[in-house]
Amino acid sequence: MTSTANERSLAAAQGVGQRFDLFVSKNPWLGFDAASQLELDSDDPILQIAAPALESGRLTKAELQLLAFVRNLNREMFKSIDPEGEWTIKSWSKAQHEGQSQGGGVMSVIRGPVLEKAAVNMSVVWGPSYPSIEREYSGQPYLAAGVSLIAHTYNPEAPIVHMNIRILKVGEGEKSVFWMGGGGDLTPMQRYEEDTNSFHASFKNACESHRLGDYPRFKTWCDEYFFIPHRGEMRGVGGVFFDYLNVERPDDLGLLLNIGQSLAHTYGRILKRRVESPFSEELKDKQLHWRARYAEFNLVHDRGTRFGLMSGGNIEAIFASLPPVVKW
């Protein structure tokens, strides 16, 4: 990496505090009812993609709008961090089954001098045969919808972040099940106690302010899930992770909303503290080797990657989480 690129990143980061503070002032914390009732723009491609699921009743308008709110919020957060970043927004469709749509998604990827590569992807897919990783419920009709987020900053002083929220409906009639899952984790090369503590405090609050939240359990779940066996260490400093939580009423999805809003606000504050920090060529090179841990986990162990491939998802969207440049 050249010193010119390093200088450009630091120059582009200037003023990040004011930009992020403006983002916060324009995006106050919303409750479930408010977020799930926000109408999508009529030209949002996710509306057309999800239309068959909405018309059939497999997906509700409130569910779609809540997921889209989290996607849009985090897009705006990224824009406040890197206004020079170039966005690539692409729609994709899952292969049809017997001439019928099976949904698809929308990729939103930003590449810039501050956010070397970040993405906020949303998908709504369905089909006649659930691709169960554990083989339970395999072969039954299903619908999966969610938002996934990743950020790799240019500045090695700032951490990688990942977040995902999702809903899954499997089966039909009385035997059908409705689950949700999600979480977020932080992967810093340069570890700062202030960043780790604020990240965990934000998710702790997100969990404690919802009836289904269980921060101690979700934190432990995250530590165990993001452990890299072949390296004998965790991927980063953790966060929260949960899966297959039963959804019994609409506002249960408020937990996903809390996770999505917490990520936007707490990660934005961490970037506000770090992306203007000077760094050396040596530290940048070290970052590229550190990113290898992230790539290894996603390629070898991540269940989300496996599910995306097994369910016929878009290859580019599935691997959007990988770092832009890595060294081994």
Q: Per the domain annotation, does 136 fall within a domain?
A: yes
Q: Please provide the distance, in angstroms rounded to a whole number, between the alpha carbons at the two ends of the chain.
A: 16
Residue 212, both tokens = 């289904």
Looking at the structure of the chain, the number of domains it has is 1
Residue 88 pLDDT: 97
pLDDT at 75 over 60: yes
Q: Per the domain annotation, does 327 fall within a domain?
A: no
Q: Per the domain annotation, does 86 fall within a domain?
A: yes
Q: What is the C-alpha separation between 86 and 109, in angstroms, rounded?
A: 8
- Are 149 and 160 spatial neighbours (Cβ–Cβ below 8 Å)? no
CA distances (Å), 210 to each of 107, 151, 157, 200, 217, in order? 29, 26, 33, 16, 14
pTM: 0.94
**How many Cα atoms occupy the beta-carbon half-sphere of 163 within 13 Å?**
30
Dump strand ranges (E) for the chain: 86-93, 103-111, 115-127, 142-153, 160-170, 177-187, 227-228, 233-234, 238-246
Q: Give the tens place of pLDDT for each residue, 250-287.
A: 999 999 999 999 999 999 999 999 999 999 999 999 99
Q: Per the domain annotation, does 289 fall within a domain?
A: yes
Q: Per the domain annotation, does 245 fall within a domain?
A: yes
Q: Per the domain annotation, does 326 fall within a domain?
A: no
Q: Which domain holds residue 274?
A: 3-321
Active-site entry in 97, 152, 162, 210: 162
Q: Per the domain annotation, does 328 fall within a domain?
A: no
Q: Give the tens place of pLDDT for each residue, 7-33.
A: 999 999 999 999 999 999 999 999 999
Residue 135 pLDDT: 66
CA distances (Å), 12 to each of 101, 111, 195, in order? 42, 13, 22
Residue 135, both tokens = 């083989």
Q: Per the domain annotation, does 189 fall within a domain?
A: yes
Residue 133 pLDDT: 65
* CATH code for the domain of 281: 3.40.1500.10
Q: Give the tens place of pLDDT for each residue, 243-254.
A: 999 999 999 999
Residue 162 annotated among the catalytic residues of the structure:
yes
Residue 111, both tokens = 């590449």
Residue 1 pLDDT: 47
Q: Give the tens place of pLDDT for each residue, 212-226.
A: 999 999 999 999 988
Residue 300 pLDDT: 83
